[in-house]
Copies of this chain bind each other. A is one copy, B any other.
Amino acid sequence: MYSVNVRDHFMIAHSLRGEVFGPAQRMHGATYVVDLELRRPGLDRNGIVVDIGLATRVLHTVLAELNFRNLDEDSRFAGCNTTTETLARTIFDRVAARIAAGELGQDAHGLSHLKVSLHESHIAWAAYEGSLPERGAA
């Protein structure tokens, strides 16, 4: 199995609901350093997992939708806690949708698995990973 990882980051404000969050129930914020790992069993005709330039751009585009925002005011998260785990899943889903829409190019149909990790400090991180739906060759 081959994998490629690209890194970027975003900075947001939010608050969390639930006693389990203690002081994080207050409005605060975080920098999330994000690792996007893309996996596939074999390489494409260029000898790569993915066009790393396109992968970097897709990740940056997805993070730009969140960056420099107060997530408490983002209606897409209404009624849902924007925990690190939830944000990892959100980014996974949005990247997966862009792959399905062809934004990583035709050779990206061979990608089988994604992992999105969000580092919130030097001592804590969270991730979501899963398989991509199989797709026919372009």
Contact = CB atoms under 8 A, between A and B. Distances in A.
Interface in A54-97: 56, 67-70, 73, 80-81, 83-86, 88-89
Interface in A94-138: 105, 120-130
A124 B7 contact: yes
Please tell me the size bucket of the interface on A: 35 or more
B2 A126 contact: yes
B121 A23 contact: no
Contacts of A122: 7, 9, 33, 122-123
Contact of A126 (B4, B120, B121): B4
Contacts of A8: 123
A26 B127 contact: no
A13 B1 contact: no
Contacts of A83: 43, 46-48
Interface of A: 1-9, 11-14, 18, 20-24, 26-33, 43, 46-49, 51-53, 56, 67-70, 73, 80-81, 83-86, 88-89, 105, 120-130
